[in-house]
């Protein structure tokens, strides 16, 4: 089968023929139809310090995908009911494979598993014709979730996990960083009833995506500041909730400066290196800062599925984040487009 492989330690990937996988015990085999490009994949292709510390080539990369079950491995439970997995089902998958025995796993906090193995990082991933995953990681998709929408469930889950970390109905929300996940977070904030949603970035292309997803105001922080926009919208005291999706120190600094007393801050954006924070305002304004990673397994999956099922508007806003589509054999163009930053979500067609 075709697979996009990190064949050796160093920059680059190769589209090569590799043996077709067979599902192990308690696994299912899935024919990949669509796959989404993630920033993680760009790091792996470039072979930065993080990639060198995490990967052991050769490895099939990729973790965001939608496909069709083609084989059920031994040991996959059969309950004789609606929860049985069957050949032909259309599915996405949670990319974090947990150990099941650490304290967090046993306490129902699987997304905090201390021994997580990541699809496309620690085990063969989904940039291939077929991928095998544990049956517990499979998410069966309803008929109203098409392949492209199903392929972005992993990053959508990040956005939903971040946006639902704090109540925001009727609140003023700031989203710093209008990458694909930030834009999805804008759509979620709008869907769940925020009063005003403001998005920031340094890319006009991405800010227009945020506007289309429901932002009341977008701010290019290379040219203007957040405070005047806050005043323009009539926020006398500042934002109630902030979602930091960029990982940039300057974004965090300006975010804190524009939050009201008692504001809640959810941080998903990973900084490239440590940076200082002025803790004075955090303490005296009694701000709450919460780190976010991945998706809550599997509460986030239920919530994002149900929200999409109940709103055609939300489905279209999430789908609008997808700006570029490439066949798998043009993976180089797909990576170049994603690396440019002047795009939304990039999807590869493996069908």
**Residue 215 is part of a domain; what is its CATH number?**
3.40.50.720
The whole-number pLDDT of residue 205 equals 95
Mean of the pLDDT values across residues 323-347? 96
Give the pLDDT confidence of 213-224 residue by residue, as tens digits.
999 999 999 999
The residue from 274, 291, 308 where one domain ends is: 291
From the list 344, 334, 348, the residue with the least C-alpha distance to 213 is 344
The residue from 248, 274, 291 where one domain ends is: 291
The whole-number pLDDT of residue 100 equals 93
pTM: 0.94
pLDDT of residue 80 exceeding 90, the answer is: no
The residue from 270, 291, 312 where one domain ends is: 291
Buried b (16+ CB within 10 A) or exposed e, 240-249: bbbbbbbbbe
Angle at 68 between CA 33 and CA 6, to 5 degrees: 50
Q: Is residue 166 part of a domain?
A: yes
pLDDT of residue 147 exceeding 80, the answer is: yes
Q: Is residue 297 part of a domain?
A: no
Q: Concatenated DSSP letters for 225-259?
A: -HHHHHHHTT-SS-EEEEEE-S--HHHHHHHHHTE
Give the pLDDT confidence of 249-296 residue by residue, as tens digits.
999 999 999 999 999 999 999 998 899 999 999 999 999 999 999 999
Do 116 and 208 have their domain in common?
A: no
Domain count, the chain: 2
Residues labelled catalytic = 40, 43
CATH number at residue 128: 3.90.180.10
Do 168 and 286 have their domain in common?
A: yes
> What range does the domain containing 261 cover?
159-291
Do 105 and 184 have their domain in common?
A: no
């Amino acid at each position: 089968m075709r697979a996009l492989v990190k064949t050796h330690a160093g920059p680059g990937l190769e589209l090569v023929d590799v043996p077709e996988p067979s599902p192990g015990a308690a696994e299912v085999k899935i024919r990949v139809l669509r796959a989404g490009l993630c920033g993680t994949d760009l790091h792996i292709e470039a072979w930065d310090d993080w990639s060198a510390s995490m990967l052991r080539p050769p490895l099939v990369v990729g973790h965001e995908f939608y496909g069709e079950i083609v084989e059920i491995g031994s040991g996959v439970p059969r309950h004789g009911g609606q929860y049985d997995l069957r050949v032909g089902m259309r599915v996405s998958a949670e990319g974090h494979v947990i150990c099941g025995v650490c304290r967090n796993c046993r306490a129902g906090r699987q997304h905090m598993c201390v021994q997580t193995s990541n699809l496309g990082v620690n085990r063969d991933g989904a940039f291939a014709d077929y991928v095998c995953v544990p049956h517990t990681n499979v998410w069966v998709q309803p008929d109203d979730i098409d392949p492209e929408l199903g392929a972005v469930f992993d990053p959508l889950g990040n956005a939903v996990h971040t946006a639902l970390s704090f109540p925001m109905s009727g609140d003023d929300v700031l989203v710093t960083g209008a990458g694909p996940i930030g834009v999805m977070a804008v759509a979620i904030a709008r869907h769940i009833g925020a009063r005003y949603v403001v998005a920031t970035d340094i890319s006009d292309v991405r800010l227009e995506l945020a506007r289309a997803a429901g932002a009341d105001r977008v701010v290019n922080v290379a040219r203007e500041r957040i405070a005047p926009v806050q005043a323009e919208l009539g926020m006398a005291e500042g934002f109630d909730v902030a979602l930091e999706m960029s990982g940039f120190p300057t974004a965090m600094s300006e975010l804190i400066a524009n939050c009201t007393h008692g504001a809640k801050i959810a941080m998903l954006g990973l900084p490239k290196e440590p940076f200082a924070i002025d803790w004075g305002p955090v303490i005296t304004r009694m701000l709450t800062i919460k780190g976010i990673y991945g998706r809550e397994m599997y509460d986030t999956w239920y919530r994002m599925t149900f929200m999409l099922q109940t709103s055609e508007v939300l489905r279209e806003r999430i789908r609008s984040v997808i700006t570029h589509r490439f066949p798998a054999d043009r993976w180089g163009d797909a990576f170049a487009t994603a690396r440019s930053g002047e795009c939304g979500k990039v999807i590869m067609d493996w069908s």
